[in-house]
């Protein structure tokens, strides 16, 4: 049982506020992804959980025990680092067995566990090699195996795949997800890659400027972003935004189109719609086509609506060319509204 509770954690580096108001509960055996742009504080949060960094404020609990004053070795965690951190002076076998040797386990137990995780990570043929004789992908497998061999309550991963090439990354992504699901550990996985986050996570915590903006399942984060930042960050291409003005109670005027919306007293709202949730129709917003990009399965059309850049993903059979004017209608149940002042979602 390893529920992780992070309570009111904040971190300052000198005058720089790297993290503030972090409150997060990660369930037992959950796969939590911390997602955000570079420099938003993901690694700092992970390192606070690992004990490699001390929080300026707040508490960290693992499995019902407060652990923020303990050294890393007493927290029941194992970590996989971005640059693998495979010990160059030890063989793959001794790398994977390093933590077990520190626990003074008997030799045959070490051999048994090392062999098991090595087979799991498909590196059982490399056990006698040194890290200098391994490829990046193999090193990362060693790093993961080394963490798994500890049979930890919690496994922490800081962008473990970001140094691998695209194809390998995709392969490892699926494999890692499978292996971790088997191992019954709670996992926190840091990445800046939203595809990785969407495909692996049970839950995603989207971080921005040292805060957690939204923590929810991948589909929830995608469909119901809690803030404009999330809407603009998740999804490729990202959501479209337009300014909406009131047109009666629960009615909003968007680029010449009257739409049902929230009953809000705000002077303006931001209307948001995903590019794939737009349809061609007789009546709708007038969109002047700027760029047409055929992507095979779809056509990505970048246009201008109401003086704002606006993207639509349309059927690839469509004959659209630069300079055309399209009439687009948003799918009503997919429209989201944001308060321009607080940038939070308005229902």
Ligand X SMILES: Nc1ncnc2c1ncn2[C@@H]1O[C@H](COP(=O)(O)OP(=O)(O)O)[C@@H](O)[C@H]1O
Site string (36-55) toward ligand X, x via CB under 6 A: x-xxxxxxx-----------
Among 41, 51, 160, 210, binds another protein (CB under 8 A): 51
Cα(191)–Cα(159) distance, integer angstroms: 5
Q: What is the dihedral of CA 237, 239, 243, 246, to 10 degrees?
A: 150
Among 67, 150, 204, 227, binds another protein (CB under 8 A): 150
Bond from prior residue into 118 cis (ω within 30 degrees of 0): no
Beta bridge partners of 6: 24, 60
Could you say whether residue 43 binds Mg ion (CB under 5 A)?
yes
Q: Report DSSP state, residue 76.
A: T
Q: Could you tell me which residues come within 8 angstroms of residue 104 by beta carbon, excluding any fewer than 6 positions away?
A: none
For position 61 contacting another protein by CB under 8 A, the verdict is no
By a kind-dependent CB cut-off of 5 to 8 A, residue 13 interacts, out of Mg ion, another protein, ligand X, none, with ligand X
Give the Cα-Cα-Cα angle 289, 292, 297 (nearest 5 degrees): 130
CB count in 10 Å sphere of residue 250: 12
Measured at CB, which residue is nearest to Mg ion?
43
DSSP 237-256: S--EEEEEEE-STTEEEETT
Specify the DSSP element, H or E, that contains 77: strand 77-80
Q: Which C-beta is closer to Mg ion: that of 97 or that of 160?
A: 160
Q: Does 122 help bind another protein (rule: CB under 8 A)? A: no
Instruction: State yes or no: residue 205 binds ligand X (CB under 6 A).
Output: no
Selected range binding another protein among 20-28, 30-38, 83-91, 243-251, rule: CB under 8 A: 83-91
Specify the stretch interacting with Mg ion by CB under 5 A; choose among 41-49, 205-213, 244-252, 320-328: 41-49
| Residues 330 and 237: beta-carbon distance below 8 Å | no
Rounded Cα distance, 136 and 163, in Å: 8
Which of ligand X, another protein, Mg ion, none does 236 bind, CB closer than 5 to 8 A by kind?
none
Using CB under 8 A as the binding rule, whether residue 81 contacts another protein is answered as yes
How large is the C-alpha radius of gyration of the chain?
24
Residue 98 in the binding site for another protein (CB under 8 A): yes
To Mg ion, the closest distance from the beta carbon of 190 in angstroms equals 6
Which residues of this chain interact with Mg ion, rule CB under 5 A?
A: 43
Give contact residues for ligand X (rule: CB under 6 A).
13, 16, 18, 36, 38-44
**Interacting residues toward another protein by CB under 8 A:** 50-52, 71-73, 77-79, 81-83, 85, 87-89, 98-99, 102-103, 146, 150
């Amino acid at each position: 049982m390893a529920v992780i509770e992070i309570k009111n954690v904040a971190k300052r580096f000198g005058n720089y506020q790297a993290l503030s108001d972090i409150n997060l509960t990660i369930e037992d055996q959950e796969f939590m992804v911390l997602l955000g742009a570079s420099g938003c504080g993901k690694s700092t949060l992970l390192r606070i959980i690992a004990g490699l960094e001390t929080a300026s404020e707040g508490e960290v609990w693992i499995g019902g025990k407060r652990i923020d004053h303990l050294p890393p070795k007493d927290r029941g965690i194992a970590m996989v680092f971005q640059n693998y951190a495979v010990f160059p002076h030890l063989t793959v076998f001794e790398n994977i067995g390093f933590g077990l040797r520190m626990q003074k386990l008997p030799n045959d137990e070490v051999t048994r566990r090392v062999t098991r995780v090595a087979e799991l990570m498909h590196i059982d043929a490399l056990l006698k090699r040194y890290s200098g004789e391994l490829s990046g992908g193999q090193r990362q497998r060693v790093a993961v195996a080394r963490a798994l061999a500890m049979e930890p309550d919690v496994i922490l991963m800081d962008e473990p795949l970001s140094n691998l090439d695209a194809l390998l990354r995709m392969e490892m992504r699926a494999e890692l997800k499978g292996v971790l699901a088997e191992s019954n550990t709670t996992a926190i996985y840091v990445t800046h890659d939203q595809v990785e986050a969407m495909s692996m996570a049970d839950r995603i915590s989207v971080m921005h400027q040292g805060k957690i903006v939204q923590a929810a399942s991948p589909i929830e984060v995608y469909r119901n972003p809690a803030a404009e930042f999330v809407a603009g960050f998740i999804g490729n291409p990202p959501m479209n935004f337009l300014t909406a003005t009131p047109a009666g109670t629960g009615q909003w005027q968007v680029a010449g189109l009257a739409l049902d919306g929230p009953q809000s007293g705000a002077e303006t709202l931001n209307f948001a719609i995903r590019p794939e949730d737009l349809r061609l129709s007789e009546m709708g917003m007038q969109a002047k086509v700027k760029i047409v990009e055929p992507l095979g399965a779809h056509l990505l059309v970048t246009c201008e609506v109401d003086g704002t850049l606006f993207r639509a993903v349309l059927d690839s059979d469509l004959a659209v060319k630069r300079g055309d004017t399209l009439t687009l209608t948003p799918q009503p149940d997919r429209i989201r509204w944001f308060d321009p002042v607080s940038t939070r979602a308005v229902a």
